[in-house]
Homo-oligomer: A and B are copies of this chain.
């Protein structure tokens, strides 16, 4: 019963970084933890602030460099949301799309196969050969909907 294979997402990421030839350091580990466990997209500065709560020495460059590597390994991707164009959020294994709460930012993925089917046809009508798409939904999560109601 000592086997405690929690298999956290950040633990998986550590392995993958390692396998890719990157070293696991204290600052890097702190960044992984925060990004992997976040339920919403974070800006580099948000990550920076959160990391420094427990690791005051870490520099902002380290945040950018770690994000770079996570992106390279397709573990996180950039998300455009509201004013922010540089937020980063964990990737799903396959190609999926985000549904983001406009109030708290908490995000979920969905595949959206039902709508993707129609993208080629839409393109054809306009004389374009569709090669990619960008779909993102915004809304209110259950938690935020609850809070809103209790104010009415």
Q: Interface of A with B (CB < 8 Å)? A: 80, 85, 99, 101-102, 108, 110, 112, 114-115, 118-119, 122-123, 125-142, 145
Contacts and interface: CB of A to CB of B under 8 A. Distances in A.
A139 to B, nearest CB: 4
Q: Secondary structure of the A side of the interface? A: strand
Contacts of A142: 127-128
B137 A119 contact: yes
Given A80-B80, A115-B115, A138 B129 contact: no
A99 B130 CA distance: 8
Contacts of A135: 133-136
Contact of A99 (B80, B115, B122): B122
A133 B141 CA distance: 15
B125 A110 contact: yes
A139 B110 contact: no
A79 B95 CA distance: 22
